[in-house]
A and B are shown apart, each in its own frame.
Chain A
Amino acid sequence: MTWFNANTDKVWDLLLSHLWLSGLPILLGFVIAVPIGWFANRHRRIRGTILSLGGILYTIPSLAFFLVLPSIIGTGFLDPVNVVVALTVYAVAIMVRSAADAFESVSPAVLDAATATGFAPAGRAFLVELPLAGPVLLAGLRVVAVSTVSLVSVGALIGVSNLGSLFTEGYRTDNDAEILIGVIGIVGLALLFDLVLVMAGRLLMPWARTPRRGRSPVSPIMSFAQHLRGGRV
Chain B
Amino acid sequence: MIEYRSIGKTFADGTEAVGDFSLQLPSRTTTVFVGSSGCGKTTLLRMVNRMVDPSHGQVLIDDVDIATRNKVELRRSIGYVMQEAGLLPHRRVIDNVALMMRLKGASKKEARDRAHEVLETVGLDSSLANRYPAQLSGGQQQRVGVARGLVTDPNILLMDEPFGAVDPIVRDELQQELLRLQRELDKTIVFVTHDIDEAFLLGDQVVILKKGGEIAQVGSPADILAEPAGDFVRSFIGLDKGHRKLHVEERNGSRIVVDETGKATGVLSE
Contacts and interface: CB of A to CB of B under 8 A. Distances in A.
Interface of A: 107, 109-110, 112-120, 123, 128, 131-132, 134, 205, 207-208, 210-214, 216
Interface string B71-92: 0110110001010101111110
25 contacts: A109-B84, A109-B86, A112-B51, A112-B86, A115-B75, A116-B82, A116-B86, A117-B75, A117-B80, A117-B100, A118-B73, A118-B75, A119-B72, A120-B72, A131-B90, A132-B89, A132-B90, A207-B91, A207-B132, A207-B134, A210-B134, A212-B134, A213-B134, A213-B136, A213-B137
Interface in B114-163: 132, 134-138, 148
Interface size class of B (residues with CB under 8 A): 20 to 34
Contact of B90 (A119, A207, A212): A207
B86 A110 contact: yes
A113 B49 contact: no
Nearest to A130: B90
B218 to A, nearest CB: 26
Interface of B: 49, 51, 72-73, 75-76, 80, 82, 84, 86-91, 99-100, 103-104, 132, 134-138, 148
Contacts of B76: 117-118
B134 A216 contact: yes
Contacts, number: 69
Nearest to B160: A116
Contacts of B87: 110, 113
Given A113-B82, A117-B148, A118-B100, A128 B88 contact: yes
Contacts of B100: 117-118
A106 to B, nearest CB: 10
Given A116-B49, A120-B72, A205 B86 contact: no
- By Cβ-Cβ distance, the 3 closest A-B pairs, closest first, are A113-B86, A118-B76, A118-B75
A117 B103 contact: yes
